[in-house]
Amino acid sequence: MAILSEIIFYPVKSCAGISVREATLTQAGLSVDAVYDREWMVIGEDGQFLTQREHPRMALITPRLKADTLELRAPGMLRLEIALGLPDPADEQTRQVTLWDDTVLAYDCNDTTAAWFSNAIGTPCRLVRFHASAHRVTSTKWTDGVEAPTLFADAYPILVAGSASLADLNEKLVAAGREALPMNRFRPNLVIDGIDAFEEDYADSFSLGQAAIKPVKPCARCPIPAVDQASGLPGPDPLDILGTYRAKAVMDGAICFGMNAIVTAGDGERLHVGQPVTMTLAF
């Protein structure tokens, strides 16, 4: 029987995730205590988003949800606390920010927060929060015309991976004299046990109670899986091994691991670790 074995939530895009026992599934992605996955994002001075691709030290910025604040920690720095409540419209500072081909309105999180992140990452930057009035949807090319909402995720609101897929990769890494990798290198939201290696590629849907998640596009991998999430240092890139058997013709030869997904039913449903998962194959 397939089960949901991990739920990982990333309040700040490309910073460390939070492993949780329960989360609310929404059309825009996971939500924990009314805070959304990738609700915050780090930008450069030009308004363009920053990630571990260029700044691997972002992996060391660790979030924690508290009653009224998002607490952030980084090595050698005092902790930073950001209010979870939205700013008063009379006081809010906003800016246009760019993520891939999308430009959306965001709240600016003030100069003190910008200075903290600039010191933590080692480059001038600012933290922004997805604006309550902003609207961003996924590409419809892979969704049969469905405009699925998302916040600051790269492309789609949910990323699903099977634990057997990682085990398969790790067997090959170990056979090549390399170290096995933890799942956090691939930064999924939902990890599923009890399905075959890379069987998620062929799923039409995953049902979890009243919720339904539809995989729509293989996740083409960038250099982030080479970054040790515990040290913030790049190491051997597993894409050289993955490239021997995970290049997808449908993705123009891109090396893929995990499936981007949208929510087709159960907006507002609670998900929990250990929950049974029913997979329907696409053929």
Record the tokens describing residue 193, joined without a space. 């046990």
- Is residue 60 one of the residues assigned to a domain? yes
Please return the burial class of 83, using the count of CB atoms within 10 Å of its CB with bins 0-12, 13-18 and 19+.
exposed
- The answer to whether 108 and 91 have CB atoms below 8 angstroms apart is no
Query: Are 187 and 261 part of one and the same domain?
Result: yes
Output the pLDDT for position 48: 98
Residues 171 and 218 in one domain: yes
End-to-end CA distance of the chain: 20
212 in any annotated domain:
yes
Residue finishing a domain among 130, 149, 184: 130
CATH number of the structural domain spanning residue 173: 2.40.33
Inside any domain, residue 50: yes
Q: Which of 65, 98, 130 is the last residue of a domain?
A: 130
**Residue 21 neighbours by CB distance under 10 Å:** 10
Q: Are residues 79 and 182 in the same domain?
A: no
Is residue 159's pLDDT more than 90?
yes
pLDDT of residue 283: 86
Give the model confidence (pLDDT) of 89-138 as tens digits. 888 999 999 999 999 999 999 999 999 999 999 999 999 999 999 999 99
- Is residue 21 one of the residues assigned to a domain? no
Residue ranges making up the domain that contains 52: 35-130
* Tokens, residue 225: 């899986």
Asked if residue 25 is part of any domain, the answer here is no
Number of domains present in the structure of the chain: 2
Q: Does 45 share its domain with 148?
A: no
The string of pLDDT tens digits covering residues 41-87 is 999 999 999 999 999 999 999 999 999 999 999 999 999 999 999 99
Q: Give pLDDT tens digits for 207-255.
A: 999 999 999 999 999 999 999 999 999 999 999 999 999 999 999 999 9
Same domain for 75 and 158, yes or no, is no
Over the stretch 266-276, which tens digit does the pLDDT of each residue have? 999 999 999 99
Tell me whether residue 44 is in a domain: yes
- The answer to whether residue 19 sits within a structural domain is no
Measured distance CA(189)–CA(275) in Å, rounded = 15
From 130, 159, 186, give the residue that closes a domain. 130
Same domain, residue pair 104 and 148: no
What pLDDT, on the 0 to 100 scale, is given for residue 222? Answer: 93
The pLDDT value given to residue 248: 96
82 with 221, same domain: the answer is no
Average model confidence (pLDDT) across the chain: 97
Q: Are residues 124 and 146 in the same domain?
A: no
Note the pLDDT of residue 91. 87
Phi, psi of 89 (to 5 degrees): -55, -30
Query: What pLDDT is stored for residue 90 in this prediction?
Result: 86
- pLDDT at position 119, please? 98
Tell whether 257 and 166 lie within a shared domain: yes
Q: Domain check: are 145 and 8 in the same one? A: yes
Same domain, 53 and 119: yes
42 shares its domain with 6: no
